[in-house]
A = this chain, B = another copy of it.
Amino acid sequence: MDRYDPVESHPRSSKSFIYLVIISQIFGLLAVILTAVWLGKYWGGFSWTNANTVFNYHPLFMVLGLVFLYGDAILVYRVFRSFRKLPIKILHAVLHILAFLFGVLGTKAVFDMHNALLIPNLYSLHSWLGITAIIVFGLQWVAGLIGFLVPQTPQVARSKLLPIHVTLGSFLYLLVIGVCISGITEKNFFSKTYPVLKAGELIGNLLGVVLVIFCGLIFYLTQNPNYRRTETISPEHRALQE
């Protein structure tokens, strides 16, 4: 990716920005590792062929896809804010489609478990909001592809779509974290020793805290005006980049 506006031109904000990005990545990876340990060690491990453990792919893929990759897909616009836009848009779209695929696989895992054990589907608030989030995420991805990556889309339509795309995307991300919190709550309620906090339930709670911190860092890095893309180049130059 060609740079047109080096990060060094924002010395005021670049140092804190880099530290916060690194910390966010540590918390993002920690969330994925905690989820794997939680389900792998305390809830029976992972298997697509075992009706009792196929569920465990559900939280793992959701945290990997709809939390970690989704968060980083948002973050690329800040991390590469001084690079050309088109490659970043493609990276944003690729990370989002990966997030969506993990989300679909994660959804399949919970339906597989419910169907195998004859548990009704879609009864909980967690499932209602989760399935809505996945569907809206998919629609938002298609709208983003047509709106921002199809060259024929007129500029006026892009300008109208952009604030909706950004606001809906950010809100959906925060909603996903809320859905995760309720999912962890459900899983802990299924524990036989709860409300006594043994290692399994404690890791569940800690995972929730880590998810909130990761999401909070992504939100701060996205919202802080100092970390935004600065459009200082001429419109002609920008037209060439897009």
Contact A209 B174 (CB under 8 A): no
CB-nearest residue of chain B to A179: B181
CB-nearest residue of chain B to A189: B189
> Given B124, B174, B188, which contacts A124 in the complex, CB threshold below 8 Å?
B188
Is A76's CB within 8 Å of the partner chain B? no
Contact B219 A185 (CB under 8 A): no
Q: Which of A58-66, A141-149, A220-228 contacts B (4 or more CB under 8 A)?
A: A220-228
- CA separation between A212 and B185, bound complex, in Å? 18
Contact B212 A167 (CB under 8 A): no
Could you tell me the distance in whole angstroms from the C-beta of A200 to the nearest C-beta in chain B?
A: 13
CB-nearest residue of chain B to A221: B167
- CA separation between A120 and B209, bound complex, in Å? 20
CB-nearest residue of chain B to A172: B216
Q: How many residues of A contact B (CB 8 A)?
A: 42
Q: Which DSSP category, helix, strand, loop or mixed, fits chain A's interface? A: helix
CB-nearest residue of chain B to A217: B171
Contact A171 B125 (CB under 8 A): no
Residues of B within 8 A of A167 (CB): 219-220, 223-224
Chain A 183-225 per-residue mask, 1 if CB under 8 angstroms from chain B, else 0: 0111011000011110001001100110010001001100111
- CA separation between A59 and B185, bound complex, in Å? 17
Is A51's CB within 8 Å of the partner chain B? no
Q: Given A124-B188, A188-B125, A208-B128, is A216 in contact with B171 using a C-beta cutoff of 8 Å? A: yes
What are 5 A-B contacts with C-beta separation under 8 Å?
A: A123-B196, A129-B181, A171-B216, A174-B174, A178-B212
Instruction: Show the binding face of A for B, using Cβ within 8 Å.
Output: 119-120, 123-126, 128-129, 163, 166-167, 170-171, 174-175, 177-179, 181-182, 184-186, 188-189, 194-197, 201, 204-205, 208-209, 212, 216, 219-220, 223-226
